[in-house]
Structure 1
Amino acid sequence: MTFTLQPRWLVALLALSSMSPHTAAFQSDLQQQPFRISSTTQPLGPTTYGKAQRVAVIGAGAAGSSTAYHLQQYAANATIPLDITIFEASSRVGGRTTTVNALDDPRYPAELGASIFVSVNHILVDAAEEFDLEALEAGAARPSESKYEIGIWDGKEFVYKSMNDDLGFLNLVKLFWRYGLAPLKTQRLMKSTVAKFLKMYDEPEFPWKSLTDMVSRVGLLDTTASTGWQFLKSNGVGEKFGNEIIQASTRVNYGQNLGLIHGLETMVCMATDGAMAVEGGNWRIFDGMVKKSRAHLRLNTSVEEITRLEEGGYQLSLSKKERHGVRTQTEDRFDSIVLAAPFQYTGIKVSPALPHQPDEIPYVTLYVTLLVSPHRLSPKFFSTPTSPLADQDFDSIPEIVITTLPAGLDLGSSPEGVGPTKFWSVSTLRSIPVNGSAQYLYKIFSPQPMNATFLSRLLDFSVEAKEDGNDSVDNVDKRHISWSYEKKWHSYPYEYPRVTFEDLNLDAKGLWYTSGIESFISTMETSALMGKNVAKLIVNELVEKSGSDLN
């Protein structure tokens, strides 16, 4: 899952981002034919079963919803009756995609989780079209009151700022003046990397039984084996551009510096053509998938244990949150199980024990803070006494500030990599009329919770010290922060370089796993792709078994 900010300047720069319509020519060779459920495969042919095959999907996020949706599509194509049940521990569909209404007003929804998807995300784009969801240009509601749309701040100064207008040519000249040919080299490198990744969607590569083997076959193993720095340097991308532009992107998207994150995820951060978001929230895509799958949806229901039965199939032990407490129960019998959530966070016991349990991998802890305030971002916070006068007025502060490390500061592979800025990004999402005057909706990404003292500096207001020492945002006077909301996420893995990835099948029978792809690429689209892949493998196995023990 990517918590992406979508800058127009990056578009002008690399022709990667589609805030502007002038980038299509750079991406033409990456455009695929619209993705369809059947892809380029031939129909599996009619098969008749005497009973419906029962499949349990654990998790209703991007992977789980996509699994159910594609199971239904592929099974229908093969005339295989399926009975699909989705178990979701929370009260909603969407996983790490969710929205909150600013000021508790449904006119102002704000994404707390995965904020955008892009034109090359074929599964999401096609699903949004199929479900008749309106996809809006990312950042369309931004107030555009500053002279600058986006700035990259290193804790001392803005190392780069792009103008908040349609003069993309001037931004482009500015970039090449500062960085030479590094933007073009990065753009070409990104295009070649994405082209390799897109092979995973179609025959002969799709579906794949081993992600490790697939990564090797499409030629991405060297990319995942290298850190972002190693990958960029080996391909001739300059250090200044890497530190100031590319690292700012890996930080805002994944909370990781180039000395930690692998080369493939680094390129993913730069492949942002056609950024969009579904009106009302991206979760609506996955809600549409669940409904289209005709699965039984069991919300507020946790799977506590998966037991493999001697006679074949699986039994689930469940706990369901109800008004008066938690009710436990068992449910028989499922032919296949798809675990569509990171194993380490499910708490699920598997009996008998798995031959190999998925590795516990560290996830980034990300705090997302939404707040509404009448105050604009403060020039005092971002400037120093020696800063140019041009950086010392409100109009000089970009509406999006993303951060990088100061030149010469190398935190290596440390997960504590935020550095002197103390936050990953702050974004002005929109202006909101409140009592006849404009206030601003902000979103902040940070590795630690926001507090009143920090926000008073960021927005330049006074805050009184509390006798009890409480420095929480909730204690700020409503004149300064009229509304706030904080969410703590285990948002994505630390994308350390690696050359092997988790198996898709956990017991060499009917227990499947989707979250191994997150150490490869962690986005809504790739989770949906893994769900689609697992669905295809399950249906292929059912077709192979047809005419024998399943009749």
Structure 2
Amino acid sequence: MLASHLLVVLPLLLHTHAFQFPFRIPFLTTQPKPSSEPVPHPPPRVAIIGAGPSGSSAAFWLSLAKQRYGLDDLEIDVFEKSSYIGGRSTVAYPYDNHDLPAVELGASVFVGSNKNLWRAADEFNLTRIPFKSKAAEGFGMWDGSNVIFAVTSSWWDYPKMIWRYGFKAPKRTDTLVKTMIERYLSLYSPHPPRWDNITSLASTLQWNDLITQSTADWLQSQGVSKQFIYELVEVAVRVNYGQDVEHIHALEGLVSLAANNVVSIKGGNFQVFENFLQRSGANVRLNTNVLSISANPSLPNYWDVRHQTNGGRTEVGTYKGVIVAFPMPRGPGDFIHPPPELHFPQRDYVKLHVTLLATTCVSPNVTFLARNSGKEVASLEGQKLPRTLYASTLGLTADEVEFNAISYLTELDRGEDAPAEQEWIVKVFSLREVSDEWLRSALGDTIGWVSRKEWDAYPLGTPSDEFAPVRVDKGLFYVNSFENFISTMETSTVASRNVVDLLLNEEFNGAGVCRRSLSADDRAAQTSFKGPKGFVFGWDC
């Protein structure tokens, strides 16, 4: 039942620098030379712009297709404007000490139904670790002035939840989440759909109502109580997507609740994406800003990618295919020439503030909890306060929501440098920066290290059946269109696999990540293979 499941899973939902590369990164130097002779066709090359989960996995899927189709001449160039691989999947080190365990700063966890990341960890010999936090010892829901509901990992938690929300709401929500997951898993089946626009995929998966209604409206239409929606579901949505149930579409609302078997990669999830690129054999160019994509004036159906190197030099490369793997929330503007004829709806991104800190305070202090409640501090003394707080925003304005979550992650052991008291790593999610004064009010004068990061974390999940195109033009694809549908590390890899499939089919004689023209015997051999988590399209063919 979802009620008891949420008591275990909800604390885990919170956890959705520079480093050295373990491999050599070749640099591109070739530039087209002007000539009066007819321009020969260059070797087949694909450019991928962005080295986050979408771009790195796209390079990996292309490399698998090269092996399966014998496309030995196909070259893959990956451009990334930042200095590292992984995009919003990166880490921080307490006290900037790389000998201490890394703490996820961006995308923090994945789950059992995330079959590409799960399989990648196995294939790349990375260690999955069950995600745990001190929230497992108890958490509370904070309404701006009081803890309105709390659990303490005791036998009494489940009865308290049933008393507050009843049986129907948790059970009904559990059924809805399971139905969504079952349809989602068809994307890994031996014959998954291909899509060149998101609306058609939503129709295939019977999710039209989910993307055109808010989480609050849709769940209420399905018989889920308002209190359950605006408290427990709201907490999950705010922690995962920094939005509320009234403004985010129902599909992402359900995704926020689908948190079975939550894990992360020991040492940082970014290692998955480093491995994607390392094993792809792609030419990776970090600190390289792509300035524009233009149709080549001499070669029909080829694209020129103009980019600026770290040294400030401008270069141009010509490509048979281009995959745009970074967000364009305002559309392509003058980035693509000629401008695409297809419509790009504008979608702003949530600006999320992530604050990591080390403290010897064992839990948020009483003074902080009482300051807006009208209660005397003395009346709260002696209470067992939760180490993790989630914001419940029913009846609050945006300005009144000070944070989305405060969570104690783990103890910190600094060896000889450790203070006398036990230190803890704490993560704060908020929609505006939390000041040092605010932190002191929450945790006292006990903070030894603070790291702040502002992300354009996720697109606003406004209910709509309009999405940016996946296929922008012949040979030109936009993988991040999927983010407005579902925004996770895993779905970035699913979306990139689909884009690579479309590109290969269109530009490389009907090829794909997996061969589509198989004999009955070959197809039976492919689909009968069971990897560690069963058949996963893209890997098992």
In the alignment, structure 1 residue 499 sits paired with structure 2 residue 465 = yes
* Contact preservation (8 Å) 2:198, 2:482: yes
* Contact preservation (8 Å) 1:370, 1:441: yes
Equivalent-residue separation in structure 1 for 2:420 and 2:131 (angstroms): 27
* Contact preservation (8 Å) 2:343, 2:468: no
Counterpart among 130, 137, 144 of residue 155 in structure 1: 144
TM-score if structure 1 supplies the norm length? 0.80
Equivalent-residue separation in structure 2 for 1:543 and 1:320 (angstroms): 29
Structure 2 stretches lacking a partner, 5+ long: 13-40, 512-541
Q: What is the CA deviation profile of residues 130-154 of structure 1, one whole-angstrom value per residue up to 9, with x for unaligned ones? A: 11111111125x497xxx4221111
In the alignment, structure 1 residue 98 sits paired with structure 2 residue 90 = yes
The alpha-carbon deviation at position 297 of structure 1 amounts to: 0.6
Question: Relative to 1, partners in 2 of residues 1:372 and 1:457: Cα closer, same or farther, differing over 3 Å?
Answer: same
* Contact preservation (8 Å) 2:367, 2:377: no
SS in 2 for 1:175: helix
* Contact preservation (8 Å) 1:399, 1:427: yes
* Contact preservation (8 Å) 1:13, 1:183: no
The alpha-carbon deviation at position 388 of structure 1 amounts to: 11
Q: Which residue pairs with 2:21 in the alignment?
A: none
In the alignment, structure 1 residue 520 sits paired with structure 2 residue 472 = no
SS in 1 for 2:243: coil
Equivalent-residue separation in structure 1 for 2:309 and 2:506 (angstroms): 32
Q: Which residue pairs with 1:75 in the alignment?
A: 66
* Contact preservation (8 Å) 2:354, 2:452: yes
Question: Relative to 1, partners in 2 of residues 1:347 and 1:500: Cα closer, same or farther, differing over 3 Å?
Answer: closer
Amino acid at match of 1:449: E
Q: What is the CA deviation profile of residues 181-235 of structure 1, one whole-angstrom value per residue up to 9, with x for unaligned ones? A: 2111111111112222222333544222222111112100101111011111011
In the alignment, structure 1 residue 299 sits paired with structure 2 residue 286 = yes
**In terms of mean alpha carbon deviation, does 11-20 or 359-368 score higher?**
11-20
**In terms of mean alpha carbon deviation, does 220-229 or 357-366 score higher?**
357-366
Give the fraction of aligned pairs with identical amino acids, expressed as a percent: 30
Q: What is the CA deviation profile of residues 316-368 of structure 1, one whole-angstrom value per residue up to 9, with x for unaligned ones? A: 1111224xxx222222x210000000124888722222213633311101111
The alpha-carbon deviation at position 104 of structure 1 amounts to: 1.5
For 1:130-529, what aligned pairs fall within 5 Å after superposition?
A: 130-139=123-132, 142=134, 148-164=137-153, 167=154, 170-181=156-167, 182-202=169-189, 204-310=191-297, 311-312=299-300, 313-322=302-311, 326-331=312-317, 333-344=318-329, 349-356=335-342, 358-376=344-362, 377-383=364-370, 384=373, 386=375, 392-393=381-382, 396-406=384-394, 409=395, 417=398, 419-433=399-413, 434-461=418-445, 480-507=446-473, 509-529=474-494
SS in 1 for 2:471: coil
Equivalent-residue separation in structure 1 for 2:420 and 2:440 (angstroms): 23
* Contact preservation (8 Å) 1:57, 1:85: yes
Q: Which residue pairs with 1:44 in the alignment?
A: none
Question: Relative to 1, partners in 2 of residues 1:160 and 1:387: Cα closer, same or farther, differing over 3 Å?
Answer: farther
The alpha-carbon deviation at position 128 of structure 1 amounts to: 1.1
The alpha-carbon deviation at position 276 of structure 1 amounts to: 0.6
Equivalent-residue separation in structure 2 for 1:151 and 1:244 (angstroms): 11
Equivalent-residue separation in structure 1 for 2:467 and 2:275 (angstroms): 30
Q: How many residues align?
A: 470
TM-score if structure 2 supplies the norm length? 0.81
Equivalent-residue separation in structure 2 for 1:203 and 1:116 (angstroms): 26
The alpha-carbon deviation at position 429 of structure 1 amounts to: 1.5
Amino acid at match of 2:384: S
SS in 1 for 2:498: helix
Q: What is the CA deviation profile of residues 475-506 of structure 1, one whole-angstrom value per residue up to 9, with x for unaligned ones? A: xxxxx322111111000011000112221111
Equivalent-residue separation in structure 2 for 1:239 and 1:13 (angstroms): 19
Amino acid at match of 2:279: K
* Contact preservation (8 Å) 1:152, 1:161: yes
* Contact preservation (8 Å) 1:160, 1:244: no
**In terms of mean alpha carbon deviation, does 229-238 or 310-319 score higher?**
310-319
SS in 2 for 1:402: strand
